[in-house]
């Protein structure tokens, strides 16, 4: 039987999901709410912003009318607001965790307490609900710290501090001036600053089954050489050689298994089992792996490189997660293209700061002719028959190659064909792994 699917979101991650679903012989209609110019081409857009809780009722009625069987929720905000619970309550199959489980990303305090409870390796930390106590703690540390606002702050609530003065200022900004909002500023986590290489480890989770996806590395800083402010992610490659088979196995036993079991068993008489994709942001330190954070969803742009390599039918996989039959895919039934993938993100001029939208994007047809390349759309929109920019991260140009160097070369070959006024991108995606060779 064909499955009609609704994907919620409008980023590069959602385009990658829509594109991969569209390749399945089992896919019926693939709808995206609200989607972008790319999801409109590989699926069909519904002009309702599904990330806004005010629209869920209307969206559920539209989904009913369209015969949607499965709802896939991309971003963290709707998940943290209970989107999965809402659509499950309306009788849909859903890929995505409940509001309670999404706290693993939505609350840094919850995530750290869960890590402590489950004995997951992470940076030493304390939680504060008052600035005075936080200041005293910071002043008595003999190591640099990171100050984290408790709630979702569009990736901006984390301040990696170089010294005590900067940490004290971060407390001021988050708790006193409430720069990231009153709610996010009520509690903070102060933790030890760690050094090392970062790695994104994702796993599909349903019931007691955990299926790790291949290790991926993101590039968060806006400029080459990891310089400049952090962004949502400027590029990725997969598999990341830093994620050795031993490290992947260790992540499963020391991070995913205890975390998923702790969520299933619960804490303080509450249970919050996880269903969907669990993302552990790791730091590979001299002392071993440490979890920096969890996300309750696919990474962006990690998803682009992972799905570019996925051979297994994504409709089957998402349904297996939603139905808690993911165990059917254990023992090597999850198959990836052996070739590595590289994704380069092209951004609007000024991003991650202020930028303008509405710039025409040229070269999409030419880039589409390259083999082993897929140009995923992120912040794009259709204006008549033109595709224009509509966000900070605009395109996620993704390529496969026989080796990492070839994948990188192919991705940049496509980038060269694409243009819009003000476009900027990093030119060193995957170099960390290439230089080690």
* Min separation Cβ 302 and ligand GLY, Å: 6
* Min separation Cβ 278 and ligand GLY, Å: 13
Q: According to the 3-state scheme, what is the secondary structure of 324-381?
A: CCHHHHCCCCCCECCCCEEEEEEECCCCCCCCCCCCECECHHHHHCCCCEEEEECCEE
* Min separation Cβ 107 and ligand GLY, Å: 16
- Pick between residue 11 and residue 38 the one whose CB is nearest to ligand GLY: 11
> Does the protein bind ligand GLY through residue 300 (CB under 6 A)?
yes
- Pick between residue 24 and residue 295 the one whose CB is nearest to ligand GLY: 295
> Does the protein bind ligand AMP through residue 292 (CB under 6 A)?
yes
- Pick between residue 17 and residue 417 the one whose CB is nearest to ligand GLY: 17
Picked from ligand AMP, ligand GLY, none, the partner binding residue 193 (CB below 5 to 8 A depending on kind) is ligand AMP
Q: Which span (83-91, 129-137, 192-200, 372-380) binds ligand AMP, by CB under 6 A?
A: 192-200
Q: Which residue is nearest to ligand AMP (CB)?
A: 293
**Residues 196-235: x/- map of binding to ligand GLY (CB under 6 A)?**
----------------------x--------------x--
Given 191, 300, 372, 390, the residue binding ligand AMP (CB under 6 A): 191
* Min separation Cβ 102 and ligand AMP, Å: 15
> Does the protein bind ligand GLY through residue 14 (CB under 6 A)?
no
- Pick between residue 115 and residue 138 the one whose CB is nearest to ligand GLY: 115
Q: Which span (168-176, 201-209, 294-302, 373-381) binds ligand GLY, by CB under 6 A?
A: 294-302
> Does the protein bind ligand GLY through residue 77 (CB under 6 A)?
no
Given 299, 352, 391, 392, the residue binding ligand GLY (CB under 6 A): 299
Which chain residues interact with ligand GLY by CB under 6 A?
Answer: 218, 233, 295, 299-300, 302
Which chain residues interact with ligand AMP by CB under 6 A?
Answer: 123, 146, 148, 158, 160, 191, 193-194, 198, 220, 281, 292-293
């Amino acid at each position: 039987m064909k499955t009609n699917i609704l994907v919620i979101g409008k980023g590069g991650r959602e385009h990658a999901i829509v594109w991969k679903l569209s390749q399945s012989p089992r896919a019926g209609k693939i709808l995206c709410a609200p989607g972008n110019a790319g999801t409109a081409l590989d699926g069909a857009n519904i002009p309702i912003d599904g990330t806004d809780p005010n629209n869920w009722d209307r969206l559920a009625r539209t989904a009913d009318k369209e015969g949607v069987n499965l709802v896939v929720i991309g971003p963290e905000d709707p998940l943290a607001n209970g989107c999965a619970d809402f659509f499950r309550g309306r009788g849909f199959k859903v890929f995505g965790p409940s509001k309670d489980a999404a706290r693993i990303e939505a609350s840094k305090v919850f995530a750290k307490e869960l890590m402590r409870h489950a004995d997951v390796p992470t940076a030493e930390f304390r939680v504060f609900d008052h600035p005075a106590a936080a200041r005293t703690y910071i002043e008595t540390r003999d190591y640099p710290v990171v100050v984290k606002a408790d709630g979702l702050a569009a990736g901006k609530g984390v301040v990696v501090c170089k010294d005590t003065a900067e940490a004290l200022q971060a407390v001021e900004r988050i708790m006193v001036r409430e720069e990231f909002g009153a709610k996010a500023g009520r509690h903070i986590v102060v933790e030890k600053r760690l050094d090392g290489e970062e790695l994104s480890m994702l796993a599909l989770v349903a019931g007691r089954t955990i299926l790790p996806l291949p290790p991926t590395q993101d590039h968060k800083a806006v400029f080459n050489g990891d310089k400049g402010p952090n962004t949502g992610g400027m590029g990725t490659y997969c598999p990341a050689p830093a994620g050795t088979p031993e490290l992947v196995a260790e992540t499963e036993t020391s991070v995913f298994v205890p975390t998923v079991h702790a969520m299933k068993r619960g804490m303080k008489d509450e249970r919050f089992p996880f269903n969907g994709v669990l993302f552990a942001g790791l730091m590979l330190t001299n002392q071993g792996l440490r979890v920096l954070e969890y996300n309750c969803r696919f990474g962006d742009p990690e998803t682009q490189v992972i799905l570019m390599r996925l051979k297994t039918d994504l409709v089957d996989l998402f349904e297996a997660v939603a139905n808690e039959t993911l165990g059917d895919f254990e023992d090597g039934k999850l198959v990836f293209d052996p070739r590595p993938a590289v994704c380069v993100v092209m951004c609007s001029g000024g991003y991650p700061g202020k930028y303008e939208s509405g710039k025409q994007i040229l070269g999409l047809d030419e880039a589409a002719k390259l083999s082993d390349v897929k140009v995923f759309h992120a912040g794009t929109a259709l204006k008549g028959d033109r595709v224009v920019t509509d966000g900070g991260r605009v395109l996620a140009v993704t390529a496969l190659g026989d080796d990492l160097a070839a994948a990188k070369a192919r991705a940049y070959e496509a980038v060269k064909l694409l243009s819009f006024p003000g476009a900027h991108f990093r030119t060193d995606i995957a170099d960390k792994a290439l230089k080690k060779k």
